[in-house]
Structure 1
Amino acid sequence: MTGPVVVGVDGSASALAAVDAAAREARMRDAELHVIHAFTWPAMHAPPGASPLGPPAGALRESVDRLLAQATAQARNAAPGVKVSRAAIPGEKVTALEAQSRTAQLVVVGHRGSGGFRDVLLGSTAVHLSAHARCPVMVVRGRPDPAGPVAVAVDGSPQGQPAVAFAFAEAALRGADLLTVHAWSTWADHGEHHPGDPVDLVDLIGDAEQLQAQAEQFLAKALSGHRERYPELTVRTRVVRRRTRQALIEVSGSVQLMVVGARGRGGFTGMLMGSVSQAVLHHAWCPVTVVRSSL
């Protein structure tokens, strides 16, 4: 992996938590950390001209410099020795971060910025960037278990393979175990069966244990190529009969990071973000990294 780790800051508590996480990621990767703040004139509650209370540098510049200095100092405190650079970029946040993602190995953002509404679970910047960035995006949220494993959702689809590869590498970098999760369910499990609907798989095969065994074989096959590349990594597998989003959100309560693909086996062609990925981004109890299949 090449390129810097990039973190977007806006002065919010969520963004400062992202700075801590991004600094640690940069240290693990032996990479530079690039702290950026994107701004538009109306979004800054400060006049663009000189401040009557300070030097004639302009209140806007003073505000931006102060914000970046705070974030830079926090990054150096979180990961001493990491090279940290910073930049103020005029323009919209999502546009600036998406441009940065073209040369970054990872972009890190908080789950909700300073412009979000209090009751919103996830900010628009995190949602948009997870769907459009050209590198993996880590959305920092929740309270991760530092002693827990890295978890990854595995559905066996080609679209999900980059996320699996990222999770193996991330677990190795962190010196953590890897928990691979595959959830399977039938139409009856969704509680949406109606007269005239297709026959449920359990009704058809008549053996839930057989379906569970097939799911376990399916997961083992999906992981086979990755295990060989990381022979020292402890890999745990979990196959559960449950709706995928519910299973992943439950798992997120006891791990340090959840990794998902942007769109898996069930997504519609052309969709940038699947419903499972969006649900995990909104409700996970730990940071979530989204890896797009087109990376």
Structure 2
Amino acid sequence: MTGSIVVGVDGSGRSLRALIWAAHEAASRGRALRIVHVLPPAHAYATTPEGRAWEAGQHDRGVVDEAITVVKDAHPGLEVTSALPSGAPPAALLSEAEHAHTLVLGAKGMGGFGSLLLGSVALQVVGHAVCPVVVVNYLTTGHNRIVVGTDGSTHSDAALAYAFEQASLRGIPLQAVHAWTRPGLHGLTTAGALDEAARAHRKDLEDWLAPLTRQHPEVEVVKHLPEEDPMLALARASDRADLLVVGSRGRGGFRGLAMGSVSHQLLQFSQCPVAVVRPHRTPHAG
């Protein structure tokens, strides 16, 4: 297990943003960066194996070489490796994830990464990768805040651990968002019951945070408990964040986050990179 930061590139502007984010992440953690370009099944105009091999050598190698140049210019001392696997992009990326600390992808791309955000590639990679997957739609800096969504599920526990690690690494505050809906039929309830529900949700959030605040006393934590749909609350919070962290699934409003309509909306409308974290493998320290 190499523990590299792995980034998928395809020569598009979107994958360039993912490359920039991944290179910064690798440099910050003192880890190697692995640049992966998935070869499509066939190349545009080549009709022979020799012709396809020549096109691959000219175009696909050029995509990787350009990515390496961009990274080396920004981070001269960073260890960089590369790979050009062939086949179905989801399978190739999931194979890379087996040995990665984090897998980073652009929100959309061309060629093997076509329709990455809204198609089956994103669903399979985000839903099944064993390591955290960061989808970069926008590059954001200067907000000095990590946002994490939490609902008490095992998946959101993994997201919390990753978010605390990111906040500690960057030396910036963490905003923990726990969105909830009021009890009662159609939201109709008494003021007393509403206050009690709010107190109960705040206590739950404090209990979920307690082990990690003890582990990371250096991280300033801001608690946010909006009475709102979780996806909307997180999308709003992403507008003032450098990274949004969510579990791959959850309970209540987070159910099916990695595989259903909520993930599509959140990955599409987040105003910052989104990290999706699964519970069975937490990130390595550092």
Same fold (TM over 0.5): yes
1:97 to 93, 98, 107: 93
Q: Distance in 1 between matches of 2:154 and 2:49?
A: 53
Q: Distance in 2 between matches of 1:20 and 1:269?
A: 31
Aligned residue for 2:17?
17
Contact 1:33-1:84 within 8 A present in 2 as well: yes
Aligned residue for 2:284?
none
In the alignment, structure 1 residue 167 sits paired with structure 2 residue 166: no
- Bigger mean CA offset, 17-26 vs 199-208: 199-208
- Bigger mean CA offset, 205-214 vs 81-90: 205-214
In the alignment, structure 1 residue 249 sits paired with structure 2 residue 248: no
Q: Distance in 2 between matches of 1:57 and 1:245?
A: 45
Q: Which amino acid aligns with 1:130?
A: V
* Alpha-carbon shift at residue 157 of structure 1 (Å): 1.4
Contact 1:14-1:110 within 8 A present in 2 as well: yes
In the alignment, structure 1 residue 27 sits paired with structure 2 residue 13: no
Q: Which amino acid aligns with 1:45?
A: A
Aligned residue for 2:4?
4
- Bigger mean CA offset, 250-259 vs 275-284: 275-284
Q: Which amino acid aligns with 1:19?
A: L
- Bigger mean CA offset, 261-270 vs 14-23: 261-270
Count of matched residue pairs: 279
Contact 1:35-1:87 within 8 A present in 2 as well: yes
Aligned residue for 1:45?
44
Q: Distance in 2 between matches of 1:210 and 1:269?
A: 25
Q: Which amino acid aligns with 2:44?
A: H
TM-score by length of 1: 0.85
Q: Which amino acid aligns with 1:279?
A: Q
Indicate the structure (1 or 2) with the bigger Cα radius of gyration.
Answer: 1
Q: Distance in 1 between matches of 2:114 and 2:89?
A: 17
Q: Distance in 2 between matches of 1:182 and 1:206?
A: 21
**Would the alpha carbon gap of residues 49 and 62 (structure 1) be closer, same or farther in structure 2, given more than 3 Å must change?**
farther
* Alpha-carbon shift at residue 269 of structure 1 (Å): 8.7
**Would the alpha carbon gap of residues 272 and 199 (structure 1) be closer, same or farther in structure 2, given more than 3 Å must change?**
same
* Alpha-carbon shift at residue 173 of structure 1 (Å): 1.1
Q: Distance in 2 between matches of 1:182 and 1:258?
A: 13
Deviations 1:83-107 (A, max 9, x none): 0011111112111110010110100
Q: Distance in 1 between matches of 2:117 and 2:28?
A: 29
Aligned residue for 1:131?
127
1:240 to 202, 205, 226: 226
Contact 2:176-2:223 within 8 A present in 1 as well: yes
* Alpha-carbon shift at residue 156 of structure 1 (Å): 1.1
Tell me, what secondary structure is at the counterpart of 2:135? Answer: strand
Q: Distance in 2 between matches of 1:69 and 1:213?
A: 55
In the alignment, structure 1 residue 216 sits paired with structure 2 residue 215: no
| Structure 2 unpaired stretches of 5+ | 282-286
Aligned residue for 2:68?
72
Aligned residue for 1:111?
107
* Alpha-carbon shift at residue 219 of structure 1 (Å): 0.6
Percent of residue pairs identical:
34
- Bigger mean CA offset, 272-281 vs 13-22: 272-281
Q: Which amino acid aligns with 1:210?
A: E
| Structure 1 unpaired stretches of 5+ | 188-197
**Would the alpha carbon gap of residues 49 and 275 (structure 1) be closer, same or farther in structure 2, given more than 3 Å must change?**
closer
Tell me, what secondary structure is at the counterpart of 2:143? Answer: coil
Contact 2:151-2:254 within 8 A present in 1 as well: no
**Would the alpha carbon gap of residues 124 and 270 (structure 1) be closer, same or farther in structure 2, given more than 3 Å must change?**
closer
